[in-house]
Amino acid sequence: MKHYKTICAVLLFILNPLLMMGQQDPMADKYLQAVSRQFRMDMGYMIRMDYIREDIMRETKVEGSATIWMKGEKYKIIFDEYIIYYNGEKLYSQNTETEEVYVSVPDPEQPGYLQAVPIRVIKSYEQDFKYRYLGTTSFMGKERVEIQLYPKDLAGPYSMLKMFINPHSQKLEAMQLKHKEGIVYTMILKEIRGNQILKESTFEFDQSAWPNTEVIELLE
């Protein structure tokens, strides 16, 4: 029975975007446009958020917090023992406990690029997603507008993204990402500061600051 439930859950995650392929809901447009205007590509931001990682198959849940610095497509994220840097070309995934950093180059032609460069979800939603307006829903005790987005390219690692938007300010307040393997990430935006002065070095892994860290190249 447990094996049967696992198979059914995986199928649901895979089939959800297939069922939505024909939809591009015009009622969602004004909210998605407002979220896109919320973040300027030429401005530096510092964002604090709480996150919840739920593994549906194993019935486990992990909670934590993260800080993001971003400007355009470049960003730096710190959460738990991990630091992720993206300088617009290379992605550095650092584990401060194991003292390793993996270096890769996300391919804009691959579905996983949206995951590696999150701002693309907000700025290129018409190009990359089907979406629909779910109306006002209760999210963590607050009334929020829910928009569901489904990637047009079904080869990617995730099946659906939910945005939860303040119905009055039309600001993005939370997102929920569902992976095909049955993992759900919920991200609650706690603080957003614009007009941040961010140096280019913010988005680079500095070997001199981490002299004992092994650099592992995943470049082709």
Q: Is the pLDDT of residue 92 over 90?
A: yes
Q: Quick one: pLDDT at residue 23?
A: 65
Q: Is the pLDDT of residue 143 over 80?
A: yes
Count of Cβ atoms closer than 10 Å to residue 147 Cβ = 26
Q: Quick one: pLDDT at residue 69?
A: 97
Q: Quick one: pLDDT at residue 10?
A: 39
Domain CATH number, residue 160 = 2.50.20.10
Q: Is the pLDDT of residue 48 over 50?
A: yes
Q: Which residue has the higher pLDDT, 115 or 97?
A: 97
Q: Is the pLDDT of residue 14 over 50?
A: no
* Sequence-separated (6 or more) residues with CB below 8 Å from residue 121: 114, 128, 129, 149, 161
Mean pLDDT of 76-85: 95
Structure-block tokens of residue 190: 């706690």
Mean pLDDT of 34-41: 93
- Asked if 155 contacts 179 with a C-beta cutoff of 8 angstroms, the reply is no
Mean pLDDT of 120-124: 82
pTM of the model: 0.82
The domain of 149 spans: 2-217
Number of domains in the chain: 1
Q: Quick one: pLDDT at residue 113?
A: 63
Distance CA 84, CA 82 (A): 7
Q: Is the pLDDT of residue 197 over 80?
A: yes
Q: Is the pLDDT of residue 174 over 80?
A: yes
